[in-house]
Amino acid sequence: MVRGPTFIRLLARLSDVDAPQSNASLSDRLSQWLDWKHALALSTALDGKPSAAPAEMPTVASSEEDECARLRASLAEAIASKPEATVSARRATRRASAAEDADGAVDYTVFRQRYLQLQRTMQAATGNLRGRLRDRLAQQSAELARLAEVDAVMELALSPREQTLLASVPALLGEHFERLRQAEQIALADAAAVETTSTAMPGAWLDVFRKDMQSVLLAELDVRFQPVEGLLAALRTR
């Protein structure tokens, strides 16, 4: 059984794999992911003398908390909404329906495009939030200004690898999509061969896939908000 965050466990279940648990420590992993330039920048941020804090140190405003909560709720709502909510998505849905009528198959392209669009939206939103929260940290104290600098270095170093890994998720979902469709086709064929009625409703697999994709998107949203939550927690200590 695969252990780890919900996002990883979901992907492992939908990919039908049992990945071995890694015994590598976090420091070992980081040493593989950080090149010497990033390692030097991180060392400088950790060991350097923090900038002097402003004479008047503003406290974290509730507006920052509210904005993060509002944006997260907005993203979760977008994930839960149906593609038919936009004109372009309605057109894509009509094309998918036409394809289904023509050859009995739904094209995964519509779902892949939707996933990629939501990924771009999440990345832009959390990136902007993270930058604004770092600016607030830098205004609080010398210690928190150092934390903000460390976070900036880590984002610069790890974001390319993170985006590469997250970019592979639509392909994994595409394989899950095909497995569900093929499973229904086999069930219907078996039922026809013995002249019985299948207990599965034709097309039910597509509803299963939609729910699975939504679960993965919400889990990815949690992952993307982890740095934001960490910065918010640091601001709350003031």
Asked if residue 177 is part of any domain, the answer here is yes
The end-to-end CA distance of the chain, in Å, is: 41
Q: Which of 97, 162, 167, 99 is nearest to 127 (CA)?
A: 162
User: CA-CA distance, 1 to 87, in Å (whole number)?
Assistant: 42
More confident: 86 or 120: 120
pTM of the predicted structure, to 2 decimals: 0.76
Asked if residue 135 is part of any domain, the answer here is yes
Rg of the chain over Cα atoms, rounded to whole angstroms, equals 23
Q: Token digits for 107? A: 């094209």
More confident: 70 or 20: 70
> What is the DSSP annotation of 37-78?
HHHHHHHHHHHSPPPPPPSS-PPPPHHHHHHHHHHHHHHHHH
Q: Which of 185, 174, 168 is nearest to 220 (CA)?
A: 168
Q: What is the mean pLDDT of the chain?
A: 78
Asked if residue 137 is part of any domain, the answer here is yes
Q: Residue 86's domain spans which residues?
A: 32-236
Q: Which of 225, 214, 223 is nearest to 78 (CA)?
A: 214
Each residue's pLDDT tens digit, 78-119: 999 876 444 444 454 455 444 444 345 678 999 999 999 999
Asked if residue 8 is part of any domain, the answer here is no
Q: How many domains does the chain have?
A: 1
Q: How confident is the model over 160-184, as a mean pLDDT?
A: 92
Asked if residue 10 is part of any domain, the answer here is no
Q: Flag whether pLDDT at 149 surpasses 70.
A: yes
More confident: 54 or 37: 37
Asked if residue 2 is part of any domain, the answer here is no
Q: Flag whether pLDDT at 70 surpasses 60.
A: yes
Asked if residue 15 is part of any domain, the answer here is no
